[in-house]
Amino acid sequence: MIVDVVMPKMGESITEGTILEWYKKVGDVIEKDETLLEIGTDKVDSEIPSPASGTVSELLANPNDIVEVGKVIARINTDENSKQIDKIETEKSKPIIEKVETVIEKSLPLPPSESVEKNQKKVIVKKSENTNSAIVTPAVMRIVSQEGISLSELELIDGTGANGRVTKKDLQNYINARSDSNLRPIKKSTSKPASLPNIQDGKKVQIDHMRKMIAEHMRYSLDTSAHVYIMNEVDMTNIVQYVDDKEKSFLTKEKFKLTYTPFIILATVSALKEMPEMNSSIDGDSIIHHNSINMGIAVSLDGGLMVPSIFNCDEKNLLGICRDLNAMVSLTRKRRINPDELQGSTFTISNFGVFDATIGTPIINQPNVGILGTGAIKKQPIVIERDHSDIIAIRSMMMLSLGFDHRLIDGAGGAIFIAKVKDNLENMNLEDLL
């Protein structure tokens, strides 16, 4: 019998995927659950296993082809006489996503249209009054931004997607046709040598998909937001002592280590409650004030970075944040994080202090308007005023750096926000937190 392999749905907001590589060719024998191909989306790369044992009879898409979710991409001819085939399971089998390779940031900065939260809205391109609005995917919006295509020009493209949606392939065909017709708008030219000078001998390798996606999202964020940075120094001595005191008992009870990050999240959430404009997004000429605080946490991986989200942090106490953070980081590092958890953040924290970095200027995670960077906690001699006298004491100090979008947040607002985070950390009531 013939078993269809379809493009799997990898998240609520993901409607298509790109064929990255076929691991088998027509005529090859494949076992059930053996990897058949690798696909990529705006969020993740995934290895897709075969739903049945048999022989690959057809491959219906080529590498780099963009295919809508649910479309047949391959067929497998099973041996009906084989004892290894369970006919009932074969008929019901579907592609299974086993390995999440990368993000797309969600880790990372994302176009303002992306979100799985009900409180955040999708980007809609408004067409003429006699036509229906068509939802545009973040991938399309990124290409539109990169190519300098106006929304009025986008309306002219005939979409082949569901409900007339313009797909990436539609947009690419339009760009190619426009280029051939010499209709491409004049863009600012940048001087670039025809080839890089041979400074030294070395091996030239292709950039992998994860690195490409990170590069695109970072460049997109810098092109979108007016980045401004403010720094402040925080006395973390009380929290450091608290963690030292609770470390053993917490590990015994919860089976994972107590870290400083949950305290930073708690202090940041409290500041966001007081300044909701920092928990917002810009959508064209409008501001989206999010009802929930969803904290994106930058997680470093081998060869890349992901930014999964802890949802509804404003409804959680310290212990709840500790548990959610531990589970999220564990799944991310095992590359088992759900694609829907890689988006929907309303604010982001990047803790480069774990790598002993003192200070940094992280790039805003789109569509957020702010990102908090936390440096390493180090003991320093600090001047403290007590009873109108100055004394020198050894304190555990940490540098905070706040990156914010100047289109919405002014310098005064950024300074007030980081001061609130600092005050929340230095004066946190640690009694009965755990």
Average pLDDT, the chain: 81
The more confidently predicted of residues 41 and 117 is 41
Asked whether residue 18 is assigned to any structural domain, the reply reads yes
Confidence of residue 399 (pLDDT cuts 50, 70, 90): very high
- We report the CATH number of the domain holding residue 9 as 2.40.50.100
Q: Is the pLDDT of residue 166 over 80?
A: no
Spell out where 277-388 has E strands: 280-283, 286-289, 295-297, 299-301, 304-306, 309-310, 347-351, 370-374, 378-386
Tokens of 377: 């906690």
Asked whether residue 188 is assigned to any structural domain, the reply reads no
Catalytic status, residue 209: no
Looking at 65, 223, 245, 410, which residue is catalytic?
A: 410
- We report the CATH number of the domain holding residue 298 as 3.30.559.10
Asked whether residue 83 is assigned to any structural domain, the reply reads yes
Question: Comparing 142-151, 277-286, 376-385, which segment has the lowest mean pLDDT?
Answer: 142-151
Domain boundary among 100, 120, 143: 100
Structural domain containing residue 50: 2-100
Domain boundary among 100, 129, 150: 100
Mean pLDDT over 19-33 rounds to: 89
pTM above 0.95, yes or no: no
Asked whether residue 123 is assigned to any structural domain, the reply reads no
The total domain count for the chain is 2
pLDDT tens profile 83-112: 444 444 444 444 444 433 433 344 444 444
Asked whether residue 189 is assigned to any structural domain, the reply reads no
Give the separation between CA 36 and CA 96, rounded to whole angstroms: 11
Asked whether residue 202 is assigned to any structural domain, the reply reads no
CA 200 to chain centre: 35
Looking at 283, 314, 406, 423, which residue is catalytic?
A: 406
Confidence of residue 210 (pLDDT cuts 50, 70, 90): confident
Catalytic status, residue 410: yes
The more confidently predicted of residues 197 and 323 is 323
Domain boundary among 81, 100, 119: 100
CA nearest neighbour of 212 among 335, 299, 301, 303: 303
Asked whether residue 153 is assigned to any structural domain, the reply reads no
337 burial (CB, 10 Å; 0-12 / 13-18 / 19+) is buried
Asked whether residue 157 is assigned to any structural domain, the reply reads no
pLDDT tens profile 214-236: 888 999 999 999 999 999 999 99
Confidence of residue 201 (pLDDT cuts 50, 70, 90): low
Confidence of residue 379 (pLDDT cuts 50, 70, 90): very high
